[in-house]
């Protein structure tokens, strides 16, 4: 663990940026069709509940990172195995996020540029940030949080003023009934992005004002849920459900449809800025979690030196993980959201929490 | 035995070298060698040490002819006030001859100190080190025959530049005085503004050879003690032969060398320094330069001007927004042009795109080369304008305007749009209130141009991310550089890019000033014109109607 101190507000900002990260760009909960926004709102509630699980775990061991308390809870052998599995998971997801980003960028702006170059540049920036430590990432987050919301407000005003929103596109509500919505919630949106908040428990021990963590966390998850739901509702009401389902990046399509005074058109830059910022924080926090886990598990003294090899692994993994974008997406749906996410983000933490309860009850009795 | 001699010669040479090295180290460092009692020896030593320099004046005067007690007044011409020396030292010694005969119990040294030297600040100098220190600073040393101590009287003076309006940081409204090269004057200028005994000044000598006066100024109770201690410690750590400008100090005490951004603020304006002292900052004054350093510095300071506080709040706020915009323009305007024309034509509105494309039809270079040519030639022009004698200035502007502006466009080497971009960038760069940040924006601009030429807007955005990471990673005396934006300190946000009315800026910057005293504005100072409305009697109003 490095010597760092983070404020509750910084945690809130990081959590928010992390949750919005890639989720705001891609069509999430689109399985629920017009009711995607309802599904997101419901999973926000689930996200808050999940956050309480992570928060309780943190409460049991406020000084320790997940890697450390896993050893305490499961014993040295199993704890280390689980911690190592988590490191692999973090690296893998970080690579996936990077791949997502690269494919996105290539598909709408840099058709002829090799994926490798785009990803290399991005990982270099992330490595630079991680070199500077978590405090700097948190402060950068604060800066970009303002920028992101400024862009969002401007974009929102532009969309409204260009008269694109047709709320009738959202009707009829609950066309396919509650079951479809809940199905989407349980299989998809509960984990990504809300369950991913578990990754941030890596930085929980750094936070100074421990009393505010709870509120910062809830605020972050609720606000990100509302934002995501709003974005999805706007996407559908602007594009219509057909286009929104088919579009790879509905937000981009929405932004591109802005046309005002024959001058403000094709505001792809807005999308690109929010994409780079969002993905940057998502990938770097996963990356940071991997680095922090490795440092503690293998008792490294200088975490900043670990950044290079792990960064290299993530970079190459992001290229070799799949041969094409469709393969990458299929892998994501079949492997990641079906097995990895439920296990690492929900089952394992809940299991750990159960053990922690039992262990601490024993201790109290003694 | 020639070899034997050779060896001896070598050892002799080595000895000589060693001696030379020793004397080199000893330049200006006499340790605590005491003074000899004989006046002649003392004068000879001073003469030999100063190499019989022409400006070292030694005036002998008899104190008692019969007893043969002589004194000598030593000073350096030009840096001391000759009139004071004549009136209050030499004249006084001659007038008070044989004074000691009336007070036989008293020591001659004491008599001279107490009664003959008619000046305010008189010091006893026990050794050569202090004698030379005083002498070289422009003070006068009085040597007395038979005494192993000397007297030092403060007679600093000599020619100085008078107080003028500062050349940098010009304001429309605000005081017109600027710092000078004399540290004494500068301290006085600040003290005149803050008439409070808690304004503390610490003096130290820095520089092995130059022995430059460097002083720390802060308001006790408002400045954070840890920061003052840190400044003091960093200054004490300096070991260099010369300090010729505050830039030397800046480079030796700053937190991060490998950055284009200044982590110490410098200013020529006493009101600026006073304002910063009142916010809890520490000023570092260096003798010989009108530029005073201020620590700790945050990034947002470079977008603020003293005039913001003298004018109306709304204007100040909008000007600050303008300056932030200016900063971004001067960084990314050419880069965006490159990115737009090379990579993202679809993002430019069609008509504008056609106009630009038509202009660029004859241009033989890609946009990056075009921009690079223009930017570099502008930088050359600018450098020429700064360094050339004033008389040649008009020639440069003609050459610049004609050759670079008109001829290059007519020849089809660059497009008019590019000239416009370069001109806007240049003006934006000049409009940045702080020269230090304008310079760093100049350098960064080229990096952004390269990024844009290779990766378009993606490159620019990544560049901005790196810039943000870099800025947030900087610290100035332990204070994060982008405070109060990141880490966000809500109560300090009133005086950042915003400048709220003075009555609402209730506290001093949290991370910079001392925790004990953070209140700046007491109580509710919001002007309440309600009470003054009553001053106009209602009857009169009715009568007028």
pLDDT tens sequence across B134-170: 888 888 998 888 888 888 888 888 888 899 999 888 8
Residue of higher predicted confidence among B143 and B517: B143
pLDDT tens sequence across B219-258: 999 999 999 999 999 999 999 999 999 999 999 999 999 9
Residue B524 resides in a domain = no
Q: Which of B265, B297, B329 is the last residue of a domain?
A: B297
Structural domains counted in chain B = 3
DSSP string of A162-200, one letter each residue = TT---GGGGPSTTTTHHHHHHHHIIIIIIIIIIGGGGGG
Q: Are residues B286 and B341 in the same domain?
A: no
Whether A140 sits inside 8 A of B486 (CB atoms) is: yes
Residue B543: its pLDDT value, please?
A: 53
Please tell me the distance from the alpha carbon of residue A147 to that of residue A141, in angstroms, as a whole number: 10
Residue A167: CATH number of its domain: 1.20.1740.10
DSSP SS3 for B203: strand
Whether B458 sits inside 8 A of A139 (CB atoms) is: no
Q: Are residues B277 and B332 in the same domain?
A: no
DSSP SS3 for B254: coil
What angle (nearest 5°) sits at the alpha carbon of residue A134, between those of residues B281 and A211? Answer: 80
Question: Which of A7, A118, A266 lies nearest to residue B487, judging by beta carbons?
Answer: A7
Cα-to-chain-centroid distance, residue A127: 18
Q: Are residues B388 and B417 in the same domain?
A: yes
Residue A360 resides in a domain = no
Q: Output B506-511 pairs: Cβ under 8 A, ≥24 positions apart.
A: B508/B222, B508/B278, B508/B279, B508/B280, B509/B279, B509/B280, B509/B298, B509/B483, B509/B484, B510/B484, B511/B479, B511/B480, B511/B483, B511/B484
Q: Are residues B71 and B195 in the same domain?
A: no
Residue A361 resides in a domain = no
Residue B6: its pLDDT value, please?
A: 56
Residue B533 resides in a domain = no
Nearest Cα residue to A223 out of A31, A48, A10, A29: A48
Q: Is B439 exposed, middle or buried (0-12, 13-18, 19+ CB in 10 A)?
A: middle
Whether B482 sits inside 8 A of A136 (CB atoms) is: no
Residue B158 resides in a domain = no
B545: confidence class by pLDDT, cuts 50, 70, 90: very low
Interface test mutation site (partner A, options B298, B299, B458, max chain A beta carbons within 10 A): B458
Q: How many residues does chain B have?
A: 545
Residue A279 resides in a domain = yes
When computed from its CA atoms, the radius of gyration of chain A, rounded to whole angstroms, is 20
Please tell me the distance from the alpha carbon of residue A117 to that of residue A121, in angstroms, as a whole number: 6
CA distances to A155, A270, B126, B149 from B110, rounded to whole Å, are 84, 82, 14, 11
Nearest Cα residue to B112 out of B140, B138, B82, B79: B140
Q: Are residues B318 and B292 in the same domain?
A: no
pLDDT tens sequence across A137-162: 999 999 999 999 999 999 899 998 88
Q: Which of residues 133-172 of A touch B (CB under 8 A)?
A: 133, 136-144, 146
Whether B344 sits inside 8 A of A109 (CB atoms) is: yes
What angle (nearest 5°) sits at the alpha carbon of residue B542, between those of residues B541 and B545? Answer: 90
Count CA within 13 A, CB hemisphere, residue A364: 7
Residue B258 resides in a domain = yes
Structural domains counted in chain A = 1
> In the 8-state DSSP scheme, what is residue A316?
H
Q: Are residues B278 and B320 in the same domain?
A: no
> In the 8-state DSSP scheme, what is residue B214?
E
Residue B22: its pLDDT value, please?
A: 57
Q: Are residues B195 and B249 in the same domain?
A: yes
* Nearest chain B alpha carbon to A12: B488
* Nearest chain B alpha carbon to A264: B349
pLDDT at residue B477 above 60? yes
Residue A365 resides in a domain = no
A65 CB-near residues (< 8 Å, 6+ apart): A1, A201, A202, A204, A205, A292, A293, A296
Please tell me the distance from the alpha carbon of residue B237 to that of residue B431, in angstroms, as a whole number: 37
pLDDT at residue A54 above 50? yes
Q: Are residues B239 and B341 in the same domain?
A: no
Q: Which of B473, B500, B518 is the last residue of a domain?
A: B473
Q: Are residues B291 and B337 in the same domain?
A: no
Between chain A and chain B, how many beta carbons pairs sit less than 8 Å apart? 86
Residue B213 resides in a domain = yes
* In contact, B525 and B503? CB cutoff 8 Å: yes
Any A CB within 8 A of B325 CB: no
Buried b (16+ CB within 10 A) or exposed e, A65-97: bbbbbbbbbbeeeebbebbbbbbebbbbbbbbb
Nearest Cα residue to B249 out of B189, B291, B186: B291
Nearest Cα residue to B471 out of B270, B232, B303, B249: B303
pLDDT tens sequence across A244-290: 888 888 898 898 888 887 767 778 888 889 999 999 999 999 999 99
Any B CB within 8 A of A335 CB: no
pLDDT at residue B38 above 90? no
Residue B56 resides in a domain = yes
pLDDT tens sequence across A199-226: 999 999 999 888 999 999 999 999 999 9
Cis omega (within 30 of 0) on the bond before B470?
no
Range of the domain at B71: 22-153
Please tell me the distance from the alpha carbon of residue A149 to that of residue A182, in angstroms, as a whole number: 30
Residue A363 resides in a domain = no
Q: Are residues B292 and B318 in the same domain?
A: no
Residue B1: its pLDDT value, please?
A: 46
Instruction: Provide the whole-model pTM.
Output: 0.90
* In contact, B296 and B478? CB cutoff 8 Å: yes
Stretch (H or E) spanning B150: strand B150-153
Q: Provide the shortest C-alpha distance from residue A129 to chain B (in Å).
A: 6
Q: Which of B409, B444, B473 is the last residue of a domain?
A: B473
Whether A142 sits inside 8 A of B465 (CB atoms) is: no
Residue A52: its pLDDT value, please?
A: 93
Any B CB within 8 A of A77 CB: no
Q: For residue B202, how many other CB atoms are within 10 A of its CB?
A: 14
Q: What is the mean pLDDT of chain B?
A: 86
Question: Which of B347, B462, B468 lies nearest to residue A266, judging by beta carbons?
Answer: B347
- 3-state secondary structure labels for all residues of A323-352: CCHHHHHHHHHHHHHHHHHHHHHHHHHHHH
* In contact, B529 and B348? CB cutoff 8 Å: no
Any A CB within 8 A of B498 CB: no
Question: Which of A9, A121, A140 lies nearest to residue B488, judging by beta carbons?
Answer: A9
Whether A269 sits inside 8 A of B346 (CB atoms) is: no
Q: Are residues B451 and B320 in the same domain?
A: yes
* Nearest chain B alpha carbon to A123: B462
Residue B358 resides in a domain = yes
Q: Which of residues 442-471 of B touch A (CB under 8 A)?
A: 455-459, 461-462, 465-466, 468-469, 471
Please tell me the distance from the alpha carbon of residue A251 to that of residue A258, in angstroms, as a whole number: 11
Residue B491 resides in a domain = no
Interface test mutation site (partner B, options A5, A11, A98, A109, max chain B beta carbons within 10 A): A109
Range of the domain at A128: 8-355
Question: Which of B455, B456, B466 lies nearest to residue A128, judging by beta carbons?
Answer: B466
Q: Are residues B282 and B316 in the same domain?
A: no
Stretch (H or E) spanning B235: helix B225-237
């Amino acid at each position: 663990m490095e010597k760092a101190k983070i404020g509750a507000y910084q945690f809130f900002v990081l959590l928010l940026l992390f949750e919005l990260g890639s989720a705001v760009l891609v069509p999430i909960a689109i399985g629920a069709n017009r009711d995607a926004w309802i599904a997101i709102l419901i999973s926000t509630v689930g996200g808050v509940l999940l956050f309480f699980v992570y928060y309780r775990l943190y409460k049991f061991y406020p000084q320790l990172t997940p890697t450390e308390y896993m050893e305490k809870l499961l014993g040295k052998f199993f704890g280390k195995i689980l911690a190592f599995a988590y490191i692999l998971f973090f690296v893998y997801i970080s690579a996936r996020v990077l791949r997502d980003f690269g494919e996105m960028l290539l598909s709408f702006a840099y058709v002829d540029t090799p994926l490798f170059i785009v990803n290399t540049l991005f990982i270099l920036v992330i490595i630079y940030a991680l070199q500077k430590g978590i405090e700097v990432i948190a402060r950068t987050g604060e800066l970009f949080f303002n920028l992101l919301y400024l862009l969002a407000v401007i974009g929102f005003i532009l969309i409204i003023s260009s008269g694109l929103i047709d709320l009738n596109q959202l009707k009829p509500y609950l066309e396919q009934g509650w079951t479809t919505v809940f199905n989407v919630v349980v299989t998809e949106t509960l984990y990504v992005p809300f369950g991913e908040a578990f990754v941030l428990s890596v930085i929980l021990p750094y936070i100074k004002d421990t009393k505010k963590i709870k509120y910062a966390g809830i605020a972050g998850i609720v606000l990100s849920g509302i934002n995501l739901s709003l974005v999805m509702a706007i996407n559908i009401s602007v594009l219509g459900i057909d286009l929104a389902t088919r579009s790879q990046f509905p937000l981009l399509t929405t932004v591109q449809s802005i046309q005002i005074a024959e001058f403000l058109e094709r505001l792809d830059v807005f999308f690109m800025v929010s994409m780079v910022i969002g993905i940057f924080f998502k990938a770097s926090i996963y990356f940071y979690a991997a680095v922090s886990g490795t440092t503690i598990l293998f008792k490294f003294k200088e975490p900043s030196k670990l950044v290079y090899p792990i960064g290299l692994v993530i970079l190459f993994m992001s290229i070799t993980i799949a041969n094409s974008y469709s393969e990458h997406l299929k892998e994501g749906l079949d492997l990641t959201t079906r097995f990895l996410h439920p296990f690492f983000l929900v089952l394992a933490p809940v299991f750990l929490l159960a053990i922690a309860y039992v262990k601490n009850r024993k201790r109290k009795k003694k | 035995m020639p070899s034997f001699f050779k060896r001896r010669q070598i050892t002799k040479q080595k000895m000589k070298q060693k001696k030379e090295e020793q004397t080199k180290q000893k330049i200006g460092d006499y340790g605590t060698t005491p003074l000899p009692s004989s006046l002649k020896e003392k004068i000879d030593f001073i003469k030999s040490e100063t190499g019989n320099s022409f400006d070292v004046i030694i005036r002998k005067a008899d104190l008692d002819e019969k007893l043969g007690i002589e004194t000598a007044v030593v000073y350096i011409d030009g840096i001391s006030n000759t009139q004071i020396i004549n009136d209050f030292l030499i004249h006084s010694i001659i007038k008070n001859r044989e004074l000691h005969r009336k007070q036989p119990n008293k020591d001659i040294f004491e008599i001279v100190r107490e009664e003959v030297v008619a000046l305010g600040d008189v010091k006893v100098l026990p050794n050569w080190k202090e004698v030379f220190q005083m002498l070289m600073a422009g003070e006068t040393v009085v040597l007395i025959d038979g005494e192993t101590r000397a007297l030092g009287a403060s007679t600093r003076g000599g020619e100085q530049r008078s107080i003028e309006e500062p050349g940098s940081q010009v304001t429309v409204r605000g005081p017109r005085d600027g710092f000078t090269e004399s540290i004494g004057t500068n301290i006085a200028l600040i003290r005149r503004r803050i008439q409070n005994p808690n304004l503390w000044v610490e003096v130290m000598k820095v520089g092995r050879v130059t022995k430059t006066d460097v002083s720390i100024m802060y308001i006790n109770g408002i400045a954070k003690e840890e920061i003052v201690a840190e400044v003091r410690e960093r200054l004490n750590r300096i070991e260099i032969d010369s300090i010729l400008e505050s830039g030397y100090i800046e480079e030796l005490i700053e937190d991060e060398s490998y950055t284009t951004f200044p982590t110490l603020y410098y200013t020529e304006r006493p009101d600026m320094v006073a304002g910063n002292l009142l916010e809890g900052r520490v000023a570092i004054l260096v003798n010989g330069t009108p530029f005073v350093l201020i620590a700790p510095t945050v990034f947002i300071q470079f977008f603020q001007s003293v005039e913001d506080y003298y004018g109306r709040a709304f204007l100040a706020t909008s000007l600050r927004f303008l300056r932030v915009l200016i900063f971004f323009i001067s960084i990314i305007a050419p880069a965006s042009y490159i990115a737009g024309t090379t990579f993202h034509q679809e993002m430019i509105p069609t008509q504008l795109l056609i106009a630009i494309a038509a202009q660029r039809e004859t241009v033989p270079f890609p946009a990056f080369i075009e921009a690079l040519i223009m930017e570099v030639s502008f930088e050359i022009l600018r450098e020429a304008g700064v360094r050339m004698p004033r008389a040649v200035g008009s020639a440069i502007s003609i050459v610049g305007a004609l050759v670079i502006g008109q001829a290059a466009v007519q020849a089809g080497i660059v497009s008019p749009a590019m000239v416009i971009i370069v001109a806007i960038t240049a003006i934006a760069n000049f409009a940045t209130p702080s020269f230090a940040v304008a310079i760093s924006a100049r350098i960064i601009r080229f990096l952004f141009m390269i990024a844009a030429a290779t990766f378009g807007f993606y490159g620019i955005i990544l560049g901005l991310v790196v810039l943000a990471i870099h800025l947030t990673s900087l610290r100035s005396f332990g204070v994060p550089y982008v405070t109060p934006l990141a880490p966000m300190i809500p109560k300090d946000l009133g005086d950042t890019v915003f400048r709220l009315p003075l009555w609402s800026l209730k506290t001093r910057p949290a991370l910079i000033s001392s925790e004990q005293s953070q209140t700046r504005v007491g109580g509710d100072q919001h002007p309440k014109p309600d009470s003054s409305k009553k001053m106009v009697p209602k009857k009169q109003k009715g009568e007028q109607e």
